[in-house]
Chain A
C-alpha cells in the first residue's frame, strides 16, 4: 500500500505485536527528497489512512529515510 502511493519506495514493515495491528514501518522513498521529516511522515500516513479508518491498523510507528544512492 505504501509502495503503491510512493512508487520506487523501499518499505520494511514489522509487526510489533504479532496481531498485525501495531506496525513499525521503515520507508525510504525518492519522493522524500527535499521534504522535512514531518512531510515525509505525512506522505506515509496518507498512504495508509484507509487502513486506519477501517480499523485494520491501530498504531503505525514510522521511520523515514532518503533512499540509498
Chain B
C-alpha cells in the first residue's frame, strides 16, 4: 500500500494555505513514528540524500549499524512541516525519531553521536570509527501512504 504522498495534498485541496495540519497525513505520520523504533524524515533517500544535513544523519545511522525507516519529505514538504510542527514542535528536516520521540535534527544527532549519547539512545555500541559514506541498498525508504 504505497501511495505518493502528493495524493494527500491533492485530495485536501487548499492544504498549502491552511493553518492546520492535514489530519489524515498527521495520522499516517504518527503511525509511522509508532511503528518504526528508529525513523528518519529526510530530504531524499538514504541511497540518494538531497541535502547535506540529511546525508550527515544517514551517515551517522549507517555508522551505528541500526535498522531504520526513512521517509523522503520532499514530495510533501510543506504539509509535513505543518504535521511535524504539531506533533513535535519541529518543522525543519531531517528529523530523527527514536522510540516515538523526536531526538533532533542534524545538529543534535551529530552532537549526540560524538558524545556517545546517540549510541546510548539507540541501545547500541558506539562505533570505533568515524562514519563512512553510506553503502547503497542498506535500507529502503518508506513511503507515506
Give the shortest distance, in Å, between B99 (CB) and chain A (any CB).
13
> In the complex, what distance in Å separates the CA atom of A48 from the CA atom of B14?
29
Q: Is the CB of A38 within 8 A of B107?
A: no
Task: Produce 1/0 per residue, B108-120, CB < 8 A to A.
Answer: 1001100001000
Number of B residues with CB within 8 Å of any CB on chain A: 10
- Most chain B beta-carbon contacts within 10 A, residue among A38, A41, A63: A38
Q: Is the CB of A41 within 8 A of B89?
A: no
Which residues of B come within 8 Å of A, CB atoms?
Answer: 89-90, 102-104, 107-108, 111-112, 117
Which residues of A come within 8 Å of B, CB atoms?
Answer: 37-38, 41-42, 61-63
How many contacts between A and B, using CB within 8 angstroms?
Answer: 20
Chain A interface mostly: helix
Q: Is the CB of A63 within 8 A of B102?
A: no
Q: Is the CB of A63 within 8 A of B89?
A: no
Q: Is the CB of A63 within 8 A of B107?
A: yes
> In the complex, what distance in Å separates the CA atom of A60 from the CA atom of B38?
26
> In the complex, what distance in Å separates the CA atom of A61 from the CA atom of B90?
14
The residue in chain A whose Cβ has the minimal distance to the Cβ of B112 is A37
Q: Which residues of B contact A62 (CB under 8 A)?
A: 107
Q: Which residues of A contact B111 (CB under 8 A)?
A: 37, 63
